[in-house]
């Protein structure tokens, strides 16, 4: 039956009402009926593509949305929705082009400014900051740009930027769900998960379909140990964002924490269906299945520590009782009284806790880490002559520099096979130089030289370290048990070892 223009527009209005009411399957059916009648109508192509993408059918949605902007290149909403779809398809470059197209047409488009800032933040902090400041100028009454700028400054260890953003936020009112969710996210960034929960809940009361708030609530509840409510929130997030792996990764982590490896494996396999290349999901799946790999994917380590950079010191030191840096410093003074180490290499330096503890007995300090955000925090301490963003063994294999002190605290738990590291350190340690490591030790029932635990960290047998030390010519100066950090009702048992290169 042929529709009149008025009938067509009435049906479009009805489809849009269903779409906005989160009745997307019904909306898609009506959009498709109209598409068969007018296959070259740009708003219809765009809305049908958007609804398909929101239902996880991005490969069906993208061609429709691409055709919509080809037919109507001056339609900003078309480019905006296309940018969203390209992000869902992991096409970051294509998403960036689409957001830039929106801003060429509408330089004051707040959604495009905020979304592009989030997209580029990982690769260009300066551009992200510039975009957020533009957003604040475009919408001076909105707190959201400043909230996001505050969080970005928190992540990259910029206290002056945090202070400025906080002053701006204090002068504005929080008016919508996105702002409540952003406040909650800032609390999570700083390790204040309990404070985050009511803000996420407030956001979801206002916007029940806000997937980022459901995911954030699930993560915060997981972090405080409220596993039943965490699972409820995470399943809600999975339904709201059916293509995203993050809800399923967190469902897997909840089940790992509860000791349910089978359920964890199922959830992590669901994550990999959505993103087969997700390194976090694959590593945790290996851990849940009891498969011990030689090393985790570098992206897994990088993402893990990027997420914790802003709250790492407070979490590890204040909450988990981590004192390995102070133990190492006291031990080095005891073993080598009066010695000052001229060239110190901090392997896996993180935020600089070891550098701070060893500042009085070291000269030139060089730090290395995979996490850019950790390095940003370490840089602000002013402790290090140089900071390197690279994997430890790869860097040592590419340099001829030598040092008289290497420390690897909290690094070996993210390495399984330690032989490549011991070999490289032996090549770069000066005569009489010292190599300090901490490890998690095997528990009863764990066998082999090392195992990958359900936590995603590795534990090593003490005899394995002794064998490697002997193989590479190190003298063992100290080897003893050490309580590494609190975990649940007790401490994680580890070892602290000090090896020395012959003079």
> How far apart, in Å, are the Cα atoms of 461 and each of 65, 417, 434, 445?
56, 11, 21, 12
Average pLDDT of span 257-279:
94
Query: Tokens 């809600």 identify what position?
Result: 236
Confidence tier at 190 by pLDDT (50, 70, 90)? confident
Is it the case that residue 16 has pLDDT exceeding 80?
Answer: yes
Find all residues with CB under 8 Å of 230, minimum gap 6, and list them.
Answer: 218, 219, 221, 222, 250, 254
pLDDT: which is higher, 174 or 72: 72
Percentages (nearest 5) of helix, strand, coil residues in the chain = 60, 15, 25
Helix 58-71 and helix 76-88, axial crossing angle in degrees, nearest 10: 150
Task: Assess whether pLDDT exceeds 80 at residue 110.
Answer: yes
- The predicted model gives 160-169 an average pLDDT of 91
- Mind listing the domains of the chain with CATH numbers? 1-106 (1.25.40.10), 306-500 (3.40.50.150)
Q: Is the pLDDT of residue 162 over 70?
A: yes
DSSP code of 336? Answer: S
Integer Cα distance of 233 and 217 in angstroms: 6
d(CA 427, CA 303): 30
The 490-500 sheet, strands edge to edge: 386-389, 362-369, 341-347, 403-408, 429-440, 490-500, 475-487
Asked whether residue 361 carries a pLDDT value surpassing 70, the answer given is yes
Place of tokens 């009284």: 337
Q: Which of 168-172, 423-427, 468-472 has the lowest mean pLDDT?
A: 168-172
The torsion of the CA quartet 28, 32, 38, 40, rounded to 10 degrees, works out to 70
Instruction: Give the pLDDT score at 500.
Output: 97
pTM of the model: 0.84
Q: What is the mean pLDDT of residues 85-90?
A: 90
Please compute the mean of the pLDDT values over residues 244-265 and round it to a whole number: 95
CB 331 within 8 A of CB 498: yes
pLDDT at 279: 92
User: Which of 44-48, 436-440, 483-487 is predicted least confidently?
Assistant: 483-487
pLDDT of 1 reads 64
Alpha helices in 429-485 (DSSP H): 462-471
End-to-end CA distance of the chain: 92
pLDDT band at 67, cuts 50/70/90?
very high
Digit-coded pLDDT (tens) for 375-395: 999 998 999 999 999 999 999
Q: What is the pLDDT of residue 63?
A: 95
Q: What is the mean pLDDT of the chain?
A: 93
What does DSSP assign to residue 499? E
Q: Sorting pLDDT into bands at 50, 70 and 90, what band is 313?
A: confident
Give SS3 for 72: coil
pLDDT digits (tens, 9 = 90+) for 458-468: 999 999 999 99
- Quick: pLDDT tens for 283-309: 999 999 999 999 999 999 998 888 888
The predicted structure's pLDDT at residue 321: 87
The band of 366, judged by pLDDT with boundaries at 50, 70 and 90, is: very high
| pLDDT for 2 beyond 80 | no
Which residue did the predictor score with more confidence, 165 or 308?
Answer: 165
Of 367, 364, 368, 366, nearest in space to 342 by CA: 364
Average pLDDT score over residue span 255-283: 94
């Amino acid at each position: 039956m042929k529709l009149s223009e008025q009938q067509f527009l009435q049906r479009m209005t009805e489809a849009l009402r269903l779409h906005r009411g989160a009745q997307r399957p019904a909306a898609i059916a009506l959009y498709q009926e109209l598409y068969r009648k007018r296959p070259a109508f740009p708003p219809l192509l765009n809305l049908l593509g958007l609804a398909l993408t929101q239902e996880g059918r991005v490969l069906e949605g993208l061609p429709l949305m691409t055709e919509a902007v080809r037919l109507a290149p001056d339609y900003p909403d078309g480019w905006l929705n296309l940018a969203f779809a390209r992000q869902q398809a992991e096409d970051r470059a294509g998403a960036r082009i689409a957001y830039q197209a929106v801003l060429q047409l509408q330089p004051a488009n707040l959604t495009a400014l905020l979304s592009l800032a989030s997209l580029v933040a990982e690769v260009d902090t300066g551009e992200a900051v510039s975009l957020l400041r533009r957003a604040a100028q475009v919408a001076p009454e909105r707190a959201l740009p400043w909230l996001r700028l505050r969080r970005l400054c928190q992540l990259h260890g910029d206290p002056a930027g945090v202070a400025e953003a906080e002053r701006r936020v204090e002068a504005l009112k929080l008016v919508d769900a996105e702002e409540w969710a952003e406040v909650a996210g800032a609390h999570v960034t700083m390790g204040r998960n309990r404070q985050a929960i009511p803000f996420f809940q407030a956001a979801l009361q206002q916007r029940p379909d806000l997937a980022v708030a459901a995911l954030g609530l699930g993560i915060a509840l997981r972090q405080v140990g409220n596993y039943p409510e965490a699972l409820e929130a995470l399943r809600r997030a999975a339904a709201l964002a059916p293509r995203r792996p993050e809800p399923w990764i967190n469902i897997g982590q909840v089940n790992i924490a509860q000791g349910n490896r089978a359920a964890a494996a199922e959830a992590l396999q669901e994550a990999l269906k959505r993103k087969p290349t997700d390194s976090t999901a694959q590593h945790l799946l290996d851990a849940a299945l009891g498969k011990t790999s030689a090393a985790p994917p570098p992206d897994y380590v990088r993402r893990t520590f990027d997420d914790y950079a802003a709250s790492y010191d407070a979490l590890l030191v204040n909450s988990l009782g981590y004192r390995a840096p102070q133990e190492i410093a006291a031990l080095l003074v005891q073993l080598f009284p009066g010695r000052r180490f001229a060239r110190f290499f901090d392997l896996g330096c993180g935020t600089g806790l070891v550098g701070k503890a060893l500042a009085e007995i070291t000269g030139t300090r060089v730090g290395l880490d995979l996490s850019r955000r950790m390095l940003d925090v370490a840089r602000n301490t002013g402790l290090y002559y140089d900071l390197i963003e690279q994997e430890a063994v790869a860097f040592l294999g590419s340099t001829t520099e030598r040092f008289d002190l290497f420390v690897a605290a909290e690094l070996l738990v993210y390495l399984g096979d330690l032989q490549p590291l011991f070999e490289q350190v032996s090549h770069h340690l000066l005569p009489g130089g010292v190599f300090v490591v901490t490890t998690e030790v095997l528990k009863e029932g764990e066998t082999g030289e090392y195992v990958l635990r359900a936590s995603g960290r590795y534990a090593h047998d003490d005899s394995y370290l002794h064998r490697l030390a002997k193989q590479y010519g190190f003298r063992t100066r100290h080897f003893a048990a050490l309580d590494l950090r609190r975990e649940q009702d007790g401490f994680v048992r580890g070892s602290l070892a000090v090896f020395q290169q012959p003079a």
